Structure formats: structure tokens, C-alpha cells
């Protein structure tokens, strides 16, 4: 009897094992795919897409491949231990017509380098007509002609908590290049990126990104070390820091050419340029509110340099900026800025340590000039054809 009972139990156990689905099948049935080193991330993305969507979980390790994202698929790594290495052979990640049901998160995107110049857009990631979500990723040591780390073409992705480090562009946008795009970029760091021409950290062409709580540090270019805005771009830049960026021409922290970004509660410190250590404006009407310009260095316009511009500057501090020649705090040429409730303190220049005006008509209201050091015009220096309108100013030694 005992033998019969044991035999029955073994038969039941065998039948139950036959009915059990293996773990991989269970995962796929639940819309979850798992990838481990030596397996293909792209194969899992394709399988998930064929099944109508799902999540691809990528285990820690290095994956030498180039992948294409698809709508409805979340691809998750395990930062900072999951690396997709493009091996210098094309863009690492591509998204074409991918909507906001797609997600890329927790990866290091490394060593992407597109080939022919006409294809050289986005070494790390290239987006075309896409709105996906990208979070907690690091774009490291990628290169391209336009957008070493990321290139967005007519796209509006959401990019949060990402780092762009050591990427390079032979033309523009070492960290990120936006072409007729409006990405939301939040709590990201752009560090040590470079561009041979414009926008070491970020380059915007006919674009209006919203950039919030980001840091642009130690980037370099010919113009626009931290950020370059061109061709009627109008980004909103909120609560960002631009520090220790370097250019060989104009706009150490930011360069605005025929563009009008809205700047609020930003800090520009220790940036360097020939023109406009902190910011250089040409044909710009940017509102600049509650910002601090400190310790920036230029030949002309340590804090801000304005050419043919009519920006509004309110509630800002210009402190310890240095111009080798003119305009320690601000340099205005053929410009008519409106400056309200600002303080110019401890700036240095040969002429106009606080402010230098040439053929310009600024309106200055409720501002304080103190402790500025210069050979001529410690607070303000006016050249011929410069016309000032003062309302309740204080000039202190």
C-alpha cells in the first residue's frame, strides 16, 4: 500500500512539472524580458515589440552592440554597472518615430562614433521625430559631427538625471545637439564636453528646450562653452549653473546669437572668453532674472557682453568679474538693455569696471555700484553716443 501511495505521488509530481512553464516563458508571458551578458539587447527589444510591448531588463555587464528603440518598450539597465559599448562603430542608440511609451534608463552609453560626415549625428544617441523618456543614463566618450552625446532632430524627449561626460563634436553640440527640438532636460550634468565650433555642453538650433536644475561645468568650444543658442532659439533655462566653461571667442558660459533664452535663478561663475565671460548676446532680447555672475573673465564684458541687444536684466548680482580691457560687470555696444534692482560689486576692468557703454542707451533702475576697480570710470564708463537713463542709483566707493 505504501509503495502504491509513493508511486501515485511521483506520478502527480511529474505531471505538475510538465505543466509548469520555465522562468523565461513565465517572464515573456508577463511582458518581461531578461538579458544577460553575451546575449543581445536588440533581440529582446524585437521580441518585446513582436509581443505588443513590455519591459526589457538588462543585467549588469558590458554589451557591445548598437540598438534601436521602439515604442511601447522600456529598456532598463542597472546603473552604473550596465554598459552599452558602440565600439566606435556607429551611433550606440537610435530612436526613429518613437513615442513617450518608450523608456531608456540606467545605462552607460559609451564609445559611439557615426561614420560618414553626412551621417555623423549623435554618437551616443540619435532621435528623429521622437518623444521617449531617458533617465539615469551616462553618455560617456561619444563623438560625432553634430551632437557627440545626443542629437535630437524634430524631437521632444524627456531627459532626467543624466550625465554627459567627455563627449565631443567636430562641429557643434559636444554634449547635446538640438535641431528644431524642444526636449525637457532636468537635473542633468554636462561636464568636460567639447565642440570644435559651437556649444561645448549644448547647442540649440531653432530649438526651445526647457533646461531645469542642470550643471554645465568644464565644457569648451570656440563659442558657447556651456550652451550656444542660434537661429531664433528660445530655451527656458531655470536654476542652472554654468561654471569653469572655456571658449576661444565669445560666450564662456552661454552664447546667444539671434536668440532669446529666458534665464531665471542661474549662476555663471569662473567662465572664460574673449567676449562675454559669462554670457555673450548678439541680437538678443533675453529676460535675465535673479541670476548671479561671479568671477567670470573676458577681454571685453567679464559678466555679460551685449552687441545689438535689448535684454531685460532684473534682480541680478555681478560680483568679482574681470575684463582685461572694458566692462568688468557688463559691456554694451549698440545695445539698449533695461537693468533693474541689480548690484555691481567688486568688478575689475581698465575702463568701466561696473559697466561699459558704447553707442548704447541702457535704462538703469534701483541698481547699486560699489567697490568696482578701474583706471577710468569705476562704476560706469560712457563713450561718445552712449546715453544713460538713471532712476534711483547708488554709486558707492
- Note the pLDDT of residue 102: 98
User: Which domains does the chain carry?
Assistant: 17-396 (2.160.20)
- Note the pLDDT of residue 379: 55
Cis peptide bond N-terminal to 22, omega within 30 = no
Set of cell numbers at residue 92: 550606440
| CA 282 – CA 329 distance, rounded (Å) | 17
Contact (Cβ atoms closer than 8 angstroms) between residue 156 and residue 184: yes
| CA 352 – CA 265 distance, rounded (Å) | 25
pTM: 0.90
Question: Going residue by residue through the chain (397 aa), what tens digit of pLDDT does each one get?
Answer: 344 433 443 333 333 433 333 333 335 547 999 999 999 999 999 999 999 999 999 999 999 999 999 999 999 999 889 999 999 999 999 999 999 999 999 999 999 999 765 568 999 999 999 999 999 999 999 999 999 999 999 999 999 999 999 999 999 999 999 999 999 999 999 999 999 999 999 999 999 999 999 999 999 999 999 999 999 999 999 999 999 999 999 999 999 999 999 999 999 999 999 999 999 999 999 999 999 999 999 999 999 999 999 999 999 999 999 999 999 999 999 999 999 999 999 999 999 999 999 999 999 999 999 987 755 545 555 554 555 554 554 555 4
Amino acid at each position: 500500500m505504501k509503495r502504491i501511495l509513493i508511486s501515485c505521488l511521483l506520478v502527480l509530481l511529474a505531471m505538475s512539472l510538465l505543466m509548469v512553464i520555465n522562468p523565461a516563458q513565465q517572464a515573456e508571458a508577463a511582458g518581461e524580458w531578461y538579458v544577460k551578458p553575451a546575449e543581445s539587447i536588440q533581440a529582446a527589444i524585437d521580441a518585446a515589440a513582436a509581443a505588443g510591448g513590455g519591459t526589457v531588463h538588462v543585467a549588469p555587464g558590458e554589451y557591445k552592440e548598437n540598438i534601436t528603440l521602439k515604442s511601447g518598450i522600456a529598456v532598463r539597465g542597472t546603473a552604473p554597472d550596465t554598459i552599452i559599448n558602440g565600439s566606435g562603430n556607429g551611433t550606440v542608440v537610435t530612436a526613429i518615430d518613437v513615442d513617450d511609451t518608450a523608456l531608456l534608463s540606467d545605462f552607460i552609453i559609451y564609445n559611439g562614433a557615426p561614420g560618414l560626415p553626412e551621417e555623423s549625428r549623435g554618437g551616443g544617441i540619435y532621435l528623429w521625430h521622437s518623444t521617449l523618456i531617458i533617465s539615469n543614463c551616462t553618455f560617456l566618450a561619444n563623438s560625432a559631427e553634430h551632437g557627440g552625446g545626443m542629437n535630437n532632430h524634430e524631437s521632444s524627449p524627456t531627459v532626467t538625471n543624466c550625465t554627459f561626460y567627455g563627449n565631443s563634436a567636430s562641429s557643434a553640440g559636444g554634449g547635446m545637439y538640438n535641431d528644431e527640438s524642444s526636449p525637457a532636460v532636468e537635473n542633468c550634468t554636462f561636464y568636460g564636453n567639447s565642440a570644435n565650433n559651437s556649444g561645448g555642453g549644448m547647442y540649440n538650433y531653432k530649438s526651445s528646450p526647457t533646461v531645469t536644475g542642470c550643471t554645465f561645468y568644464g565644457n569648451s568650444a570656440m563659442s558657447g562653452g556651456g550652451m550656444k543658442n542660434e537661429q531664433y532659439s528660445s530655451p527656458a533655462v531655470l536654476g542652472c549653473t554654468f561654471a569653469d566653461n572655456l571658449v576661444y571667442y565669445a560666450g564662456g558660459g552661454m552664447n546667444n546669437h539671434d536668440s532669446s533664452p529666458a534665464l531665471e535663478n542661474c549662476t555663471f561663475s569662473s567662465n572664460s572668453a574673449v567676449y562675454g565671460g559669462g554670457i555673450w548676446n548678439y541680437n538678443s532680447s533675453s529676460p535675465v532674472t535673479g541670476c548671479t555672475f561671479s568671477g567670470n573673465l573676458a577681454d571685453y564684458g567679464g559678466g555679460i557682453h551685449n552687441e545689438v541687444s535689448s535684454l531685460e536684466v532684473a534682480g541680478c548680482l555681478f560680483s568679482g568679474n574681470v575684463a582685461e580691457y572694458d566692462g568688468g560687470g557688463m559691456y554694451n555696444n549698440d545695445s539698449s538693455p533695461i537693468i533693474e534692482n541689480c548690484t555691481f560689486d567688486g568688478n575689475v576692468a581698465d575702463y568701466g569696471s561696473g559697466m561699459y557703454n558704447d553707442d548704447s542707451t541702457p535704462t538703469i533702475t534701483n541698481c547699486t555700484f560699489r567697490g568696482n576697480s578701474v583706471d577710468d570710470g569705476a562704476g560706469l564708463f560712457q563713450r561718445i553716443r552712449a546715453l544713460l537713463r538713471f532712476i534711483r542709483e547708488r554709486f558707492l566707493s
